[in-house]
Structure 1
Amino acid sequence: MTSSAASAQYLRDLALLRRVRDRIDREYAQPLDVEALARGVNMSAGHLSRQFRRAYGESPYSYLMTRRIERAMALLRTGELSVTEVCFTVGFSSLGTFSTRFAELVGMPPSVYREQQAAATVGMPPCVAKQVTRPIRNREARPSATT
């Protein structure tokens, strides 16, 4: 394959990857798996996973989990729904899995987050609140100041 053909293929793959990312953003609460996402863009699951990670720095599954947890954080801050209701609203089918993933990304269980963060973004524009409260994966977390 020539470099221009490889470049053209890469650009086509990027367009498909954007479609996958947009689908995850839209349908995060639906049952999604890599195979279904790959079928939607006529790629193999392995190729989609490799290309998605190359383009966005994380697997499609990790991206989906991050989107679900971001939405859960927003819902928990409102205090209108219970932790269990939030769990199912954002697309998890197991409260245990939800709590584990939430704690991995946020650093505390969802019930503690709900108690501590309910008033943290009051009066803050939603676009700023989303950026300030974006979950950080543990491997990306900054070291604590207590060391």
Structure 2
Amino acid sequence: MARKPASDQRLHDLARLRRVRDRIDREYARPLDVEALARGANMSAGHLSRAFRAAYGESPYAYLMTRRIERAMALLRRGDLSVTDVCFEVGCSSLGTFSTRFTELVGVPPSVYRRRAAGAPGEPPSCATRHATRPVRRREPPSSGPRG
């Protein structure tokens, strides 16, 4: 049996990673873990984590939590659910972990975010809100080289 050229294998791996990312986007509210995602992609959990991070800049778990927090932000802006209800609605099983991750990504705890959103006058179009409030993982700024 002939081996695939490296470029063909790389494209095949990227397609599998894209399917994993799409599954996370669709099923973010379900119980997902790296083991289950890896099984679905016919990869080991370690290989999936390394390849996903190389392709998308963050681990599958971090990507999943970002999607969950993004959805939680939208639910909290609506204002009709409690923080606890939102936590479970987006697939988190621990209110503490949810609050910690939310605060890391958004900069304020979910209760503060909900309170501020409730006091905001008039809702802008959802596409503008989604873009402006998308959680962004804080990363080190790229070095600008030697200074002198």
Per the TM superposition, whether the score is higher than 0.5 is: yes
Write the mapping of 1:111-130 to structure 2, written as runs, cut at 5 A: 111-118=111-118, 120=120, 122-130=122-130
Three-state SS of the structure 2 residue aligned to 1:93 is coil
Does the Cα contact within 8 Å between 1:49 and 1:59 map onto a contact in 2? Answer: yes
CA deviation map 1:24-82 (0-9, x unaligned)? 00000111000100000100111111111111111100000000000000000000100
Counterpart-to-counterpart distance in 2, 1:115 and 1:108: 11
Counterpart-to-counterpart distance in 1, 2:120 and 2:10: 42
Does the Cα contact within 8 Å between 1:77 and 1:119 map onto a contact in 2? Answer: no
Report the counterpart of residue 64 of structure 1 in structure 2.
Answer: 64
Report the counterpart of residue 26 of structure 2 in structure 1.
Answer: 26
Counterpart-to-counterpart distance in 1, 2:88 and 2:22: 21
- Provide the alpha-carbon RMSD of the alignment: 1.7
Write the mapping of 1:61-140 to structure 2, written as runs, cut at 5 A: 61-118=61-118, 120=120, 122-139=122-139
Q: Which residue type is aligned with residue 95 of structure 2?
A: L
Deviation at 1:129, TM superposition (A): 1.2
Runs of 5+ unmatched residues, structure 2: 142-148
CA deviation map 1:104-129 (0-9, x unaligned)? 11111100000112354844222221
Number of aligned residue pairs: give it. Answer: 138
Percent identity, please. 75
Q: Which residue type is aligned with residue 41 of structure 2?
A: V
Q: Which residue type is aligned with residue 18 of structure 1?
A: R
Report the counterpart of residue 35 of structure 1 in structure 2.
Answer: 35
TM-score between both structures, scaled by the size of structure 2: 0.87
Change (3 A) 1:31 1:136: same
Deviation at 1:140, TM superposition (A): 5.9
Change (3 A) 1:58 1:121: farther
Counterpart-to-counterpart distance in 2, 1:118 and 1:15: 41
Report the counterpart of residue 50 of structure 1 in structure 2.
Answer: 50
Counterpart-to-counterpart distance in 1, 2:61 and 2:121: 28
Runs of 5+ unmatched residues, structure 1: 142-147
Does the Cα contact within 8 Å between 1:87 and 1:93 map onto a contact in 2? Answer: yes
